[in-house]
Structure 1
Amino acid sequence: MELSLDAKDTAFRDEVREFFSTGVPDSWRDRVRAGLRLSPDELTGYQQRLAARGWGAPTWPVEYGGTGWTPTQLCVFWSEAARADAPHQFHQGLELIGPIIFSYGSPEQKDYYLPRIIQAQDWWCQGYSEPGAGSDLASLRARADRDGDDYVLNGQKTWTSYAHVASQVFLLARTSHEARRQQGISLILAPMDTPGFRINPIATMDEKYHTNELFMDNARVPVANRVGDEGRGWEYGKVLLDRERMVAAANVIFLGQIVRGITDAARRRKIRGRALADDPGFAAKLAQFTVELTTLQAMVLRLLDDMTRGADSGPRGSMVKLRWSQLYQAGTALWVEALGPEAAQFAALDGATLPADMPAALQGALYARVTSIYGGSSEIQHNIIARRALGL
C-alpha cells in the first residue's frame, strides 16, 4: 500500500526506515513473516529499543508517554516495520489495558503502570474468557468478594495467553450479583505471583506453548487494584475490546509480510522445470489475495482517521477484524500451497533439503485458525455488522 506523503511525512518515513534497516535480526524474519510471535525476551528487547527512541507507544497520547502520531504517521511506521520484517509490538499492555488505565485508572495506577508498559518492565495477560463465557462474556462466574481492603478472587479463566511468562493480569470478576448480567462486574489488576493463582498449560495444534487456564483460589488483591468504579467493568471491557480494532488495523498492514513469504516460496518451487510463481493459476490466486489485501488496507486508513477525529466508525472496526482474520487464514494457506507437500513435514524425506521457512509457514497457518475466534469471534462480528450496518 502506497501513501501520499508530504515533505514532513517523507522525512519521518526516512527516519523510521533508517531505524529498521539495522534493527531486525535474520533469525526473526521467517517467524515474523508467518505471523508468529517472537519469544518474550526478544519482544521485550525490541520494545525497549523502540522506547529508547520515544516510539514505545505509537498509538498513545503524548501526555501518557505516547507519540501522538497522526494516522498517516502510524501507517508509515507500521508499513516500514512490515517492510523490514519487524515484529508486532506485544499488544496486551500497549493496546488493551494501557489505554484503559490512562482513561479510567487512578493517578497512582497511571504513574505506576504506564511507564512500565512502555519500557516493557511488565508483561500483561488478559483474564476475560472462562469455560462457558467466551463470546458471551456477560456469563462470567469468577468472583471478587470484598473483605476489608482486599478482594478475594475465586474462579477460573481460560485461553489466558502468555500467563506462564506474564508478570501482571487484568481480569473481569463479579463484585455483586445484579438482575442484568452485565452489571456487577469489575476490572481488576493483579500480579501473577499472587498467592492462590495457578496456571495449567493448554496444548494447541501449532505445538507452541502460548495459552493457559488460570485458576484463582482465595487469591487476595487490594481493592486499590480495581480500575475505575466498582461494577463498571463491563463498560470498560467493551472499550478495551474496541481497542482490539486498533490491533487489527496494525495486523492488516503487517499482512504484507505474508505476501513476500508466498512470493519467495513460489519462486523457489519448481514444477516440471518451471517456477510455481510463473504458473498462471497460482499467479492469479496471489494477485487476487494482494488486491483484497490492498482494499482492506484502504479501509484501515479510514478507520484510523475515524479514531483520530473521535468519530463513530460504526461497524468498520468489526469489518476490518473479520476480513483480516479471513485474509490471514487465506494467506498462510496459500503460503503452504506454495511450499508444496514438504510444508506438511518437519523432517527431510530421502535426504531432501527442506525450505528454511517451512516450519514457520506451517505453524503460521495452524495458528491462523484462532484469529476468527479471539478478539470477538467472526460470528459476533457478523452480528455487529448486521445490526449496525444493515439494521437487522
Structure 2
Amino acid sequence: MRISFLLHNAYTIGGTIRSTFNLASALADHHDVEIVSVLRYRKTPAMGAPPRVRLTHLVDLRRGSAHYDGDDPRHAQPARVFPRADGRHRQYSRLTDERIGRHLSSLEADVIVGTRPGLNVHIARQAHPAAIRVGQEHLTLSGHGLRMRHEIRHRYPLLDALTTVTEADARAYRQLGLPGVRVQAIANSVPAMTTRPAEHTGKIVVAAGRLVPVKRYDLLIKAFAGVVASHPDWQLRIFGRGDTTGNERRALSTLIDHLGLNGHVFLNDHVGALATELGKASIAVSASDRESFGMTIVEAMRCGLPVVATDCPNGPREIITDGVDGRLVPPGDAEGLAAALRDLIRDASLRRRMGEAAGRNSVRFAPDHIAEQHLALYQDLLKRGPGKRSLSPLREAAHRTRTAAIDTAHTLRSTTRRAARSQPAG
C-alpha cells in the first residue's frame, strides 16, 4: 500500500509532527510511505527524519537555497483554497495553493492523509479521485471557530474518513452528520522510552508542555506551594518553551518568587531527551484546562510514572484510569491537585504500584499497535472504494453566501470592539 501524508511543516517541532513521524515510521515497516511537507524552512527536520519514510517538500523557504521560493510573487498573494479560517492561513499563498493542487491531483497513492483542517480541505477538493482521502484532527472540533466549523461541514463530506485522537471528539464530529464520512477515534502513538523506567525514588514532580495559559502552570505552581508546606524536600520541574514574547515565562517566574518557591519550582526549556528527565522523577502532573490528547501524559506513563491530571476535555480521562495508573482531579482545583500529589508523595508503595500499572497500560499507545488501527481503517476504505468527489453548484453557492455572512458578522464585531477600546475612560 502506498500512503502519503500531507504535513504543514515537517522541519520544526510540534505534537502533530511527532505523531505523524511516529505513525509513518511504523507503517513504513511494511508499506510505501511518504511525508510531504508543504513548507520547508530548514535543511534537516528539527525532530529528525523518520526512518524508511521519504520526506519531500513543496515550497522551499530556506533563504540562500538554490530553490528558494520566498521571492515568487505568488507567495505574496493570499491563498484561496487553503481556508482563511485555519489559523495557519497567513503562511499560505497562491503559490502553496498551486503547488499543493498540482501535487495532489497527480499523486497516485492508495491513501492520502491530511494532518490539519486546512490541508484536509485541500485533500477534499483536489486529491486524485481514485485515492482514499483521510483527514486527521489533532486538536478538537470545539477548538475551531464558527467559520472553520462551517468549512468542515461543507468540505469534509468529500473525505472518506476522519480520525480524531479521542472518542469524545469523534462523538462531536459524528453529531455534525457528515454524510458518507467514517469518523473513528485513534489515539496518538508514543514509542517505548529508551531510558530505564523511573525508580520512584527521586523527590521530583515533573510537568512538560508549552508555556501557554491553557496549560495552567500558574494553578500547578499554586498547588505545589501546598505540597512544599508539608514536603519541603520535593521539587517541581516544568519543561517547556513559551511564545517569542516570553510573557508567560515571566509571569510564572514572578509567581514563583511571590510564593517563595525558588529552590522548589524550576522552569526549564523543553529538552530533546525528555525521557531522561522523566526517569529522574517519581510523579508526573498536568493541570491543563483542556487537552486535545495529552502526549506528555502518555510519555510519562511509558516511563513508568503515575500521572496526576485535571479531568479536562478531552484526553486525560481516556488515558488515565483514576486510582489505577494515576489520579484525575477537577479542572481549576488547586487544592485537589495538591492533595493528590501529597497522597502519592506520602506513599512510596502506592506510587510504585501506580507507576507499574501506568507502564503496562500505556503499551496500548505503542506505534505498532496504533499503526494497525490506521491500517485496518485504510484497508476497509479501500474495499469500500472512494466516496463522494464533488459538491453540487447549489451547495457551493450556499456555502459562499454563508461564508460571506460569517465574515461580515466577524468584521462588524471586530469594528465594534475596536471602537469600544478607543473610547476614553469615564
Do both share a fold (TM > 0.5)? Answer: no
Larger Rg: 2
Q: TM-score, normalised by structure 2?
A: 0.24
Higher helix share: 1
**Higher relative contact order, structure no. (Cα contacts within 8 Å, ≥ 6 residues apart):** 1
Q: TM-score, normalised by structure 1?
A: 0.25
